[in-house]
């Protein structure tokens, strides 16, 4: 064979291999297998899953989506999924233990500690950034200027540091009081009562729990110091308002992230995200007691109003 023929074959074979590999990759993307593992059957989880599934099917109508409440129920998955969508800390931990080499997206978690040590995972954390929290506080209570924050430094020092930076852009001041154990809470509340004109609750298990909720809300009520709750349950119990999540949007955001992974982006290359959309609940009885004037458009825009 002439040398020119060898050159043509040497050029032709890599091109063929590239085309074959591309075709195989395309088939994998067209028919992905997605495992949804959920730690909970509550309505927010179901709404997120329903929205996620709908968004995925719009792009990949032939996708196989398997839903289970525990990956441990299967001794060995019959088909290794292309990606895992885990809702809740237990679901994420079990999925990583069972399939450590599979890309995973976790949500319905407050922090990403459960993902530590994994090189194939990313998350959409179910809490707001300090800036978003303060923007909402400024919107609902424009007269509040000194925002009190109770926190455990071991858990939330970074959040407090970020909040202080964000507060400067909104002409607010963060009054941060450390709470190293629940025993410190009464003194910390008294300190805030002397310095702050509002209290912003944050996800901190040292400060906020079923055992401390009553004392925090009673202090807020007695001192007419508006307290921003951590969930709808806190608002129902007497907090002025709380941010909640649009779970339909959370499902869509999760689907968009999974689609990136299916297109070839490793989960670990995707930065930790926070929910795009937020809704809020209001307690007008508390607002009246605090002598706060909540604008009508904010009342109309609330997902739920307690009166």
Q: What CATH fold (topology level) applies to the domain 130-245+279-306? A: Rossmann fold (3.40.50)
**Cα-to-chain-centroid distance, residue 102:** 21
Q: Which helix (H) or strand (E) holds 307?
A: none
> Given this model, what pLDDT does residue 68 score?
87
Which tens digits make up the pLDDT trace of 259-283?
A: 999 999 999 999 999 998 889 999 9
Contact 114, 106 (CB under 8 A): yes
Q: What is the C-alpha separation between 295 and 291, in angstroms, rounded?
A: 13
pLDDT at 289 over 50: yes
Whether 1 shows a pLDDT value over 70: the answer reads no
- The three-state secondary structure class of 239 is coil
Residue 141 has pLDDT above 60, yes or no: yes
**pLDDT, position 43:** 93
* DSSP H/E element including 261: helix 247-262
Please state, as a whole number, how many other Cβ atoms lie within 10 Å of the Cβ of residue 171: 8
**Mean local confidence (pLDDT), 170-187:** 97
Average pLDDT for residues 33-40, to the nearest whole number?
A: 95
Average pLDDT (17-46) is 70
Strand order in the sheet with 146-151: 173-178, 146-151, 198-200, 227-228, 241-245, 278-283, 304-306
pLDDT at site 302: 97
Q: What is the 3-state secondary structure (H, E, C) of 16-78?
A: HHHHHHHHHHHHHHHCCEEEEEECCCCHHHHHHHHHHHHHHHHHCCCCEEEEECCHHHCCCCC
- Please give the pLDDT value at position 70: 66
* pLDDT band of 304, cuts 50, 70, 90: very high
- Whether 27-127+248-269 and 130-245+279-306 share one fold: the answer is yes
Domain positions in the chain are 27-127+248-269, 130-245+279-306
Instruction: Please tell me the distance from the alpha carbon of residue 290 to that of residue 270, in angstroms, as a whole number.
Output: 43
Which residues are paired to 114 by β-bridges?
none
In the CATH hierarchy, which fold is given to the domain comprising 27-127+248-269?
Rossmann fold (3.40.50)
Q: SS3 of 154, please?
A: helix
Asked whether the predicted pLDDT for residue 61 surpasses 50, the reply is yes
| Burial state string for 123-156 with b = 16 or more CB within 10 A and e = fewer than 16 | bbbbbbebeebbbbbbebbeebeebbbbbbeebb
How far is the C-alpha of 87 from the C-alpha of 94, rounded, in Å?
11
Number of other residues whose CB lies within 10 A of the CB of residue 241? 28
Please say if the pLDDT value at position 139 is more than 60.
Answer: yes
Q: What share of the chain is helix, strand, coil (3-state, %, to 5)?
A: 50, 20, 30
According to DSSP, the residues that pair with 122 across neighbouring strands are 105
pLDDT of 251 higher than 70: yes
- Separation between Cα atoms, residue 235 and residue 230, nearest integer Å: 8
This prediction's pTM? 0.79
* Residue 149 in this model has a pLDDT that exceeds 60: yes
Over residues 79-110, the pLDDT tens digits come to 789 999 999 999 999 999 999 999 999 999 98
For residue 52, count other CB atoms closer than 10 A to its CB: 28
pLDDT of residue 24: 40
Alpha-carbon dihedral 19, 23, 24, 28, rounded to 10 degrees? 150
Question: What are 5-29's pLDDT values in tens digits?
Answer: 444 434 444 444 444 344 344 444 5
Give CA–CA dist 153/83, Å, rounded: 36
């Amino acid at each position: 064979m002439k040398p020119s023929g060898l050159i043509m074959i040497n050029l032709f074979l890599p091109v063929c291999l590239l085309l074959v590999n591309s075709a195989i990759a395309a088939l994998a993307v067209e028919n992905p297998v997605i495992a949804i593992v959920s730690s909970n059957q509550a309505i927010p989880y179901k709404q997120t899953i329903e929205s996620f599934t709908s968004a995925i099917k719009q792009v990949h109508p032939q996708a196989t989506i398997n839903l289970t409440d525990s990956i441990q129920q299967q001794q060995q998955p019959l088909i290794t999924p292309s990606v895992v969508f885990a809702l809740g800390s237990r679901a994420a931990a079990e999925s990583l233990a069972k399939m450590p080499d599979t890309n995973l997206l976790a949500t319905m978690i407050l922090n990403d500690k459960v993902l530590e040590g994994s090189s194939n995972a990313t998350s959409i954390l179910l809490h707001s950034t300090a800036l978003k929290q303060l923007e909402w506080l400024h919107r609902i209570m424009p007269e509040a200027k000194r925002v009190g924050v109770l926190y455990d430094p071991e858990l939330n020092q970074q959040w407090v540091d970020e909040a202080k930076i964000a507060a400067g852009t909104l002409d607010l001041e963060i009054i941060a009081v450390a709470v190293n154990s629940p025993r410190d809470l009464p003194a910390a509340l008294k300190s805030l009562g002397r310095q702050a004109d509002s209290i912003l609750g944050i996800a901190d298990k040292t400060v906020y729990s079923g055992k401390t909720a009553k004392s925090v809300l009673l202090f807020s009520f007695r001192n007419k110091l508006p307290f921003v709750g951590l969930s709808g349950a806190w608002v129902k119990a007497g907090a002025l308002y709380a941010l909640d999540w649009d779970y339909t949007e959370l499902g869509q955001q999760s689907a968009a992230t999974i689609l990136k992974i299916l297109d070839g982006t490793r989960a670990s290359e995707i930065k930790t995200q926070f929910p795009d959309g937020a809704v809020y609940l209001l307690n007008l009885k508390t607002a009246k007691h605090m002598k706060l004037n909540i604008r009508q458009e904010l009342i109309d825009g609330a997902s739920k109003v307690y009166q």
